[in-house]
Structure 1
Amino acid sequence: MIDSFDGLDPANSEDTDSSRTGGDPTPSHESTAPDHSRIQTIALDRPEARNALTVDGLESLAATIESQSTGTDSPAVIYLHGRGPAFCAGADLTAVADLDGDRDAAREFARLGQRVARAIETCPSIVVAGIDGPAMGGGLELALACDVRVGTPASTYGEPGVTFGLFGAWGGTARLPKLVGQGNALEFALSGRTVDAEEARRMGLISRIEDEPREVVASIAEHPGETLAVLKRRLRDDSTQAEQERREADAFGDLVAAHADEIESVLE
């Protein structure tokens, strides 16, 4: 069984080098029903836009993951990956430009991305990101929220928003330093540079490099689901994340209001 969710028209995303594409609307992601309640696959599915996330895409993705927290038959593992040449190029920049410098609307957009990341962290299933190709901006932030990150040799990682006056506001400023240390986080975010899989593994952005990330998913899914859920809950216990995300969303709103012209220029 496949559940499809409609996205907005493909448009620009935070991967400013090569994600500006057009075309017909496509589903923003697909969710494949769990295989005997062990593994559920969620595929980000806007390959022509490098899986850039729109408002509709974020809302449907959040609802899909949140549904795993309310049911009694949650899969042991959720495998999150991207269709086509990218994992996820981040927020759809057309959606950001359409905010037209509205501070409050920008904060709501940031909170929507945070909702997805928080759903990943709090759902009982172990969420594994299988990253092939670019994971940029908000796409990287979604990966950072996952419990396990496995990159292919072709995967790349970056936070390019700083180059046009923004930064990732889907919880990344709280999660990044916890994973890679404050020094690495500052250098990585402030430079706007892109790193390859080997450097990402050395930094701690990803745990492993594998040609086929699904093999890691299968190995985790062999263990009892209840035990996995309890381990995740204990290892994830962090009461400060929500407050950090609130401040992050406020700052994002301020920057969108201050840099509306720069954001628009990226689309030209």
Structure 2
Amino acid sequence: MGDAVVTVRTSKRERIRTIELANPDRRNAVTPGDLTRLESAISHAERTGDPVVYLAGAGAAFCAGADLETVVSLSDPAGFARHGARVARRIDESDPVVVAGIDGPARGGGVELALACDLRIATPEATFAESGVLHGLFGAWGGTVRLPRIVGEGNALDLSLSGRTIDAQHAHRIGLVSRITDDPFDVAIDLAERPADALRGIKRRVRDRSDVDAQERAEAELFARLHDRHGETISR
């Protein structure tokens, strides 16, 4: 199976860099190659001074998370976890304001990529699940770091321990989703009308927090141990 393609489109009118996860036949499941391209796209948006990045999925899903065929065959699960965590952190710490436009399912790593964004804007059709536990794993791309920070420890444990799916309204009630709208891109357009230096400054101040390296290392190590234990059952 070849890597999916992350296409990058730039809107010349709204000063918005659009990054689209474009593997709709697999609900935009993410491979290591996709993570690398996503990281490069974020870095490019930062270098070119794009004030707003819009992250979306092609077709009827936002992102199904890590590609399960890839996960089953991992020879270095800790490295894969660190790779995903690094890309999520790159989104988190980048200069542009990153808006996740979530239409349809967001699962596992897809939720974690969205958590790294500054705003998560959902359509009424969006659904969310931290589904790693269903495979004997967990969200290792910063999920155990960011999810409790955003929705609170109780809600984070409920979602992560159960693996259950929640709808957009529920996600909004617990703070996982910033807004629900028919067209999330409209929010990106609105933000792009604000002064870029103000957007960047606000993001830096709100995002200023203590180092999470140790937490991400612990995530990666636990993910590797669980992968060794449950890896053969993931695709069943």
Answer whether contact 1:34 1:75 (CA < 8 A) is retained.
no
What is the Cα deviation at residue 62 of structure 1? Answer: 1.0
What is the Cα deviation at residue 227 of structure 1? Answer: 1.1
Deviations 1:191-234 (A, max 9, x none): 11000000000011101000000111111111111111111111
1:116 aligns with 2:87: yes
- For residue 243 of structure 1, what is the amino acid of its counterpart? A
Instruction: Provide the residue aligned with 1:226 in structure 2.
Output: 197
Instruction: Provide the residue aligned with 2:58 in structure 1.
Output: 83
Matches within 5 A, 1:111-190: 111-190=82-161
Matches within 5 A, 1:1-268: 8-9=1-2, 27-35=4-12, 38-69=15-46, 71=47, 73-99=48-74, 102=75, 105-263=76-234, 266-267=235-236
Runs of 4 or more off by more than 6 Å in structure 1? none
CA distance in 2, matches of 1:118, 1:34: 25
In structure 2, do the counterparts of structure 1 residues 132 and 37 end up closer, same or farther at CA, with 3 Å as the change threshold?
closer
What is the Cα deviation at residue 111 of structure 1? Answer: 1.0
CA distance in 2, matches of 1:199, 1:241: 28
- For residue 157 of structure 1, what is the amino acid of its counterpart? F
Answer whether contact 1:28 1:53 (CA < 8 A) is retained.
no
CA distance in 1, matches of 2:181, 2:124: 7
- For residue 37 of structure 2, what is the amino acid of its counterpart? S
Instruction: Report the TM-score, using the length of structure 1 for normalisation.
Output: 0.85
Q: What root-mean-square deviation, in Å, do the aligned CA atoms of Structure 1 and Structure 2 show?
A: 1.4
What is the Cα deviation at residue 36 of structure 1? Answer: 5.5
Answer whether contact 1:37 1:74 (CA < 8 A) is retained.
no
What secondary structure, in the 3-state scheme, does the structure 1 residue paired with 2:138 have? coil
Answer whether contact 2:104 2:127 (CA < 8 A) is retained.
yes
Deviations 1:45-89 (A, max 9, x none): 0000000001111111111112334x2x32110000000010000
Question: What percentage of aligned pairs have identical amino acids?
Answer: 50
- For residue 93 of structure 1, what is the amino acid of its counterpart? L
The farther-off stretch of 251-260 and 196-205 is 251-260
- For residue 174 of structure 1, what is the amino acid of its counterpart? V
CA distance in 1, matches of 2:217, 2:123: 33
What is the Cα deviation at residue 176 of structure 1? Answer: 0.3
- For residue 228 of structure 2, what is the amino acid of its counterpart? A
Give the number of aligned pairs.
236
Answer whether contact 2:19 2:56 (CA < 8 A) is retained.
yes
What is the Cα deviation at residue 241 of structure 1? Answer: 2.1
Deviations 1:114-162 (A, max 9, x none): 1211111111000000000000000000000000000000000001110
Instruction: Provide the residue aligned with 1:3 in structure 2.
Output: none
Give unpaired runs (5+ residues) of structure 1: 1-7, 10-24
CA distance in 1, matches of 2:222, 2:30: 20
